[in-house]
Amino acid sequence: MIDKKTLSIWERQGGIGFIGLGNMGSAIAMRLTKPKIDGLPLMVYDPDSIKLAPFIERGAIAAKSALELCKSCDIIFACLPTSAVTETVLFGDAGISSDLKPGQIFVDMTSGDPAISRDQAARLAKAGVIFVDAPVSGGPRGAREGTIAIMVGGEDKLYEQILPTLKVISSNIFHAGPVGAGHALKAGNNLLNLICRMASFEVVSLLINAGVDAERAVDILQKSSGRNYATEITLPDNILSGKMHQGFSMALMEKDAGLALDMAAGLAQPMPLGEVAFAELQDAMHTHGDTADMSLVALEYETKTGARIRPKSVSYTHLRAHETPEHRGWRNQREKKKGGGG
């Protein structure tokens, strides 16, 4: 529940904008439309105009461009696929950086590269613009429920300044340290998530082959010391339910886990578990494509171990009927190559 004091401070901070309404961005931004207060200043922008409609229905203002949004808002949130996309939004040919004014705050919720974030912060600082990295973890479900973890990188005073706004989004906000610390933490978190996910699929496959029912195995593991996000959310909600869709692509996981491994390489720190999990992810990507949902990693373990993790009712025909257009395009191209282009 958002307290009245937080809402009061939030309103006084001036216009708030949000760029990027993908799976995560839309769920996060929608939290900023929840309080029913007249005149709540929220402006949204996404190049896909279809994504704007739900926000207009909630009373948000749809900007015609990122540039229009930046001219109207004191605090600008962005949730984009990569730091490279953030770079384009800020410093590209149609970038907004030249129109940002001293004192404006740019909050990057992208799962980004900490080194790039620090560089972007330094360039914006020359114009008096403040950059904060604030990536999130907990998936669209956590964002919708207001429990998503927000890892903030920035100075103490700045953290306190934007905290009231962040509290509207979630109750779990953490000051990670200076600029870049948030993105470093997010990369490390996603590598850990990948390791736990692969280990969980491996062990659950073992238990199934040992004669334990899949749902029973996951339920007991979740109540035991081996519990983790995969046993709490991934397996029960996305695999055992038959949904086989998390809304997070293998390519994005590869990007985030790769950032963590790159950090380790720069520090000359060995990461044996991370490298094994990363190699398993790349195997799955080779089979299913980089646009495939992370839930399909379970199929890789089914193939390797012979254990059926997903429900028997969920066939490959069912999975193809529910795949994304991007993944369908990848699969069709691959099948054409196998068939010699016919």
Tell me which residues are annotated as active site.
186
Q: In a 10 Å sphere around its CB, with 0-12 CB exposed, 13-18 middle and 19+ buried, how is residue 216 labelled?
A: exposed
Closest C-alpha among 108, 166, 171, 163 to residue 145: 171
**What are the distances in angstroms from CA 280 to CA 149, 186, 250?**
27, 20, 11
Rounded-to-integer distance, Cα 175 and Cα 288, Å: 37
Give the H or E element holding residue 130. Answer: strand 130-133
Q: Which residues contact 43 (CB under 8 A, 6 or more apart)?
A: 15, 16, 17, 18, 60, 61, 62, 63, 69, 72, 73
177 touches 183 (CB < 8 A): no
Query: Which long-range CB contacts under 8 A does 328-331 form with residues at least 24 apart?
Result: 330/289, 330/290, 330/291, 330/292, 331/289
In terms of phi and psi (left: phi > 0; alpha: psi -120 to 50; beta: otherwise), the region of 91 is alpha
Sign of CA dihedral 117, 139, 158, 43: positive
b/e per residue, 137-161, with b = 16+ CB within 10 A? bbbbebbbebebbbbbbbeeebbeb
